[in-house]
Structure 1
Amino acid sequence: MITYEWLYVLAGIFFAIWSLLSLRDRLFGNAAFWGLLAASFFFGSNLSDFANGVLVLAMVAIAGTGALKRSDPETTSIEERRDYSKMLGNKLFVPALIVPITAVAGTLLYNYTPLSETGLFEARRETLILFGVGVLVALVVAMAWLRPPALAPAEEGRRLLDSIGWAAILPQMLAALGAVFALAGVGEIIGGVAGDIIPDGSVFLTVVVFALGMALFTMIMGNAFAAFPVMAAAIGIPLLVETYDGNPAVIGAVGMLAGFCGTLMTPMAANFNIVPAALLELKDQNGVIRQQIGTAIPLWLCNVAIIYVGAFLLWN
């Protein structure tokens, strides 16, 4: 059976390759950082919480001391990329499209045919595993089609990853922080305060507070996945689901979208908002955020309406 652990090993292999390439180029900080991340993917499930925590603190120390540097591997020049673009046009997007097509088509084929009886993939992990399969298929297709040097995928991946730096793993770190906050009882504390403020029986106001909390906590923590455990424990489950009998699927799914509205408006979501500005060399570091605010606020209002109508008016 192919399990979720196989994806960890696959990711660990790529990070290990980038670490070795960085070591070859004497970028010792980069080599240590990506090497530690590779170790966490390879061995994290078998290490204690304390050992995993030490790995994370070591990575934070490397990034915090400025030891991560932008690499400049010998890849294609700007002129060569422009020539490829003119020659191949939109066909260059074919490898990128292979990944989602493999994940979606593979999941449907596996779940709705006799293939599901084979037990090939771990239950409820089929889509994620097939997403990883899609990455490998796209890599093989691109190599066979474009015939680049053998190390081109690794070098290009390292160039992009080093340009992003520590922000590349920010979503995982912030999601873990949200779980820590939930276990520490932050959600219950917020829920108690909200219960004292919100009038009894005010479903709509509770929805507004829940959606607003998702957006604000996402802006503070930089990731809706980090905000969700806190707000679900505070308001989503105890009030909207258990007290007012709301549809948990709508509350959970659209509540996440309300959090993503906060993602559009915060520099804490560095991988979404600050990194693109750096890669595009924008003069205004917050230029991406300024462009997104006009979308985020109306979208948040729509999410409030969807939760109220879909989870309560049409559900009960």
Structure 2
Amino acid sequence: MDASYITGTVVPILLELFFILIGLQLFYTAYRVLRQADHPARWGTAGFWILLGILFAAGNIIPPAVDGVLLLGIGALTLLKQVKVGKVETNSEEEQVYHAARFSNWIFLPAVLLALTAVLIAQFTPFGGQVGIGAAAILSLAVAMILFRASPKITLSQSDRMVQQVGAVGILPQLLAALGVLFTAAGVGDVIADIISGFVPAGNRLLGVIAYVLGMVIFTMIMGNGFAAFTVITAGIGIPFVISQGADPVIAGALAMTAGFCGTLMTPMAANFNALPAALLEMKNPNGVIKAQTPLALVLIVVHIALMYFWAF
């Protein structure tokens, strides 16, 4: 099969199928919520999952303006705190201990298989990383069902449990990535360059490096996405104050990206790294993950400044 045909025709179809599957799972979660008469916010929570399910399952065929209205509806429900976790099916502590002892390290097989399969598909096939993640997720789910002898009913109920526990923070990564594109298109990088030029003397490499690293850290903390911050901060600070002074763009750019991840460690906006683990582990302190990571992040910021100053030039 021709590679151009795969990327141009097959890949979009597969991605659409994956999005439809996600939408169906969200519809199922809405159905489970509606069945709970004692749910603290039954209609608002069900509405949230229905709107999100429509966006995933049919977002590609409905008008963009309608997509925008649905997103505003999702935002309004979240703002009004109408998205809450109801009763979800969980195993008792004794059952969890029993199953952990029974399966031992085999319990990690589906997760390892997911990551490995996604990487192999992305690296060695023309299908790309997005299809790789979707295909790997389906494969690992099938393996988990066989390994743990889970029925489709149990699989659906546990998927519903995870969706509800993650809640509204699960859509933050997509929204923040879109926000980064909007910032770049709006010329935020140029505005930042004008502001920084008033503080960083021309030709001062050290201050340029500090501004570049801290800019990546702070902007990533604000946006929750290092990739979105990279384009804005590199255009506004990296190129005029670091690379134009003779820094190797490959080294400086790589260190700037990993410096942004230092900001990821310290912000609740990075929902997929910090908020989701706290929700899934049912931690009492929702910022407990951030609190544990912050000291290391501060040390790594200093390390990044030193590496960029001595290595990039």
TM range (shorter): 0.7 to 0.9
In 2, Cα distance between the equivalents of 1:185 and 1:67? 35
Q: CA deviation at 1:4?
A: 4.9
Over the matched positions of the two proteins, sequence identity in percent amounts to 38
> What are the residue-to-residue correspondences of 1:40-79 with 2, within 5 Å?
40-74=55-89, 76-79=91-94
| 1:19 and 2:21 matched | no
Map of 1:96-175 to 2, 5 A cutoff? 96-110=111-125, 121=127, 126-175=128-177
Cα gap change, 1:106/1:171 in structure 2, threshold over 3 Å: closer, same or farther? closer
Shift of 1:18: 2.8
Deviation at 1:65, TM superposition (A): 2.1
Question: SS at 2:59's partner residue?
Answer: helix
Distance 2:13 2:242 in 1: 35
Which amino acid in the other structure matches residue 23 of structure 2?
F
| 1:215 shift after superposition | 0.8
Distance in 2 between residues matched to 1:13 and 1:48, nearest whole Å = 21
Return closer, same or farther for 1:7/1:238 CA change in 2, 3 Å cut-off.
farther
Distance 1:43 1:96, change over 3 A: same
Cross-structure match for 2:97: 82
Question: Do 1:19 and 1:32's aligned partners in 2 also have CA atoms closer than 8 Å?
Answer: no
Could you report, residue by residue, the CA deviation over 1:143-175 in whole angstroms, capped at 9, with x for unpaired residues? 122221213222212211211211111111112
Question: Is 1:39 matched with 2:54?
Answer: yes
* Stretches of structure 2 lacking an aligned partner (at least 5 in a row): 1-5, 35-41
Confirm or deny: 8 A CA contact 2:51 2:74 kept in the other structure: yes
* SS of residue in 2 equivalent to 1:196: coil
Corresponding residue for 1:286? 287
Residue in 2 aligned with 1:199?
201
| 1:209 shift after superposition | 0.2
Amino acid corresponding to residue 236 of structure 1 in structure 2: G
Which residue is equivalent to 1:212?
Answer: 214
Alpha-carbon distance in 1 for matches of 2:64, 2:297: 37
- Equivalent position of 1:114 in the other structure: none
> In structure 1, how many angstroms separate the alpha carbons of the residues matched to 2:145 and 2:284?
36
Report 1:164-313 matches (<5 A): 164-241=166-243, 243-310=244-311, 312-313=312-313
Structure 1 length as normaliser, TM-score?
0.83
Partners of 2:141 and 2:276 lie apart in 1 by 25
Q: Given that residues 18 and 154 in structure 1 are in contact (C-alpha distance below 8 angstroms), is that contact kept between their aligned partners in structure 2?
A: no
Q: Does 1:93 align with 2:108?
A: yes
1:35-79 deviation digits (Å, cap 9, x = unpaired): 322322334345554333222111111222222221334454433
CA contact (8 A) 1:29 1:62 kept: yes
Coordinate RMSD, CA, aligned:
2.5
- Structure 1 unaligned spans of 5+: 111-119
Deviations 1:186-206 (A, max 9, x none): 211110121232122222321
Query: Does the 8 Å contact 2:33/2:45 carry over to 1?
Result: no
Tell me the number of residue pairs that the alignment of Structure 1 and Structure 2 aligns. 298
